[in-house]
Structure 1
Amino acid sequence: MEHLALPPGYLTTSMAAMAVGRQPATIRDWVRRGILHRAGGTPKRPYFRVDAVQAAAVAAKPTRPGQRAA
């Protein structure tokens, strides 16, 4: 279930994923890796600032040996 009323300029995890053409798991991974920070919500239903999601989508991602190229 999505948030019923989000503040303007904020996205849920699934909305953020759709906005940048990624999967929701990618958004959660960015949070775990410190690339994207929650702007509010609850631990299970966070929301994010639109500009932060867009910045995370173009940010240089750390690579690991053997990681597939995007």
Structure 2
Amino acid sequence: MEYLSLPPGRLTTSMAALNCGVQPATIRDWVRRGLLARCGGTPKRPIYRLEDVERARYAVKPSRPGQRADRVA
């Protein structure tokens, strides 16, 4: 169940993923890696600030051993 209404500038995990063009699992990974912080909601239905989502979207992602290289178009 999604929220019926959110304050302006707030996004659910699904909305944040759509905004960034990634999967919801990527948004959860950004949270786990400390690139994005929740600003409310519940543990199962977090809410994020649009500004924080945009900052995480363009943040330099640390590389890990065995991680796939970014594709350059």
Q: Indicate the percent of aligned positions where both proteins have the same amino acid.
A: 69
Partner of 1:55: 55
Larger Rg: 2
| Residues paired across the two proteins, number | 70
Q: What's the CA shift string for 1:10-67, capped at 9, x where partnerless?
A: 0000000000000000000000111000010000000100011011000011111110
Q: Where in structure 2 are there 5+ consecutive unaligned residues?
A: none
Partner of 1:2: 2
Q: Following TM superposition, where does structure 1 have runs of at least 4 consecutive aligned residues deviating by more than 3 angstroms? A: none
Question: Could you say what secondary structure the match of 1:29 adopts?
Answer: helix
Q: Where in structure 1 are there 5+ consecutive unaligned residues?
A: none
> What is the RMSD of the two structures over their aligned residues, measured on CA atoms?
0.7
